[in-house]
């Protein structure tokens, strides 16, 4: 767990795991909550073991809205929500989230590190995409 907590990068502090939020006599649990001192915002992480669904994106949006409305202070920036999933459908994510979205992100996680060759291929694709813009 310590390695995972150190992974996000500079400025991150661990806040809670399985944090319960409640309203209208219903309870919800946010998997991981961090605070980034440099960005001055909360970062909520929802972990999914399968492919992401539009319901997952709606759930993290609800968590972000809750934090923005009831937890963050006026001098803090908007909350960021991240869904880490085993697999994601780019089109589903794009259509589900608003076009001007800057708070919710979906990312695929891998159970193993890619090989050197796979990393080279990924870098070539990214470089090509950047040059095409």
Exposure pattern of 15-48 as b/e (b: 16+ CB <10 Å)?
eeeebeeeeeeeeeebbbbbbbeeeebbbbbbeb
Per-residue confidence (pLDDT) for residue 92, from 0 to 100: 72
CA pair distance 93, 29, nearest whole angstrom: 22
Instruction: State residue 17's pLDDT score.
Output: 92
Q: Domain with 87 in it: what CATH number?
A: 3.40.1350.10
Q: How many domains does the chain have?
A: 1
pTM: 0.71
Q: What is residue 21's predicted lDDT score, i.e. its pLDDT?
A: 95
Q: What is the pLDDT of residue 34?
A: 92
pLDDT at 5: 53
3-class state of residue 61 by DSSP: helix
Distance (Å, rounded) from C-alpha 42 to C-alpha 35? 4
User: Mean pLDDT per 10-residue run, the chain (133 residues)?
Assistant: 59 90 95 91 89 86 95 95 80 71 64 63 71 69
Would you say 35 and 41 are in contact if contact means Cβ atoms under 8 Å apart?
Answer: yes
Cα angle 65-4-22, degrees, rounded to a multiple of 5: 30
pLDDT at site 20 = 96
- Structural domain harbouring 110: 2-132
């Amino acid at each position: 767990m310590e390695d995972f907590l150190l992974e996000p990068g500079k400025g991150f502090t661990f806040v809670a795991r399985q944090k319960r939020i409640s309203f209208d006599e219903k309870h919800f649990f946010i998997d991981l909550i961090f605070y980034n001192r440099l960005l001055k915002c909360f970062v909520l992480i929802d972990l999914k073991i399968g492919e992401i669904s539009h319901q997952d994106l709606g759930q993290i949006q609800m968590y972000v809205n809750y934090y923005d409305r009831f937890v963050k202070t006026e001098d803090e920036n908007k909350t960021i929500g991240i869904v880490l999933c085993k697999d994601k459908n780019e089109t589903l994510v794009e259509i589900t989230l608003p076009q001007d979205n800057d708070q919710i992100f979906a990312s695929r996680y891998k159970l193993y590190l890619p090989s050197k060759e796979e990393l080279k291929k990924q870098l070539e694709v990214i470089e090509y995409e950047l040059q095409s813009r």
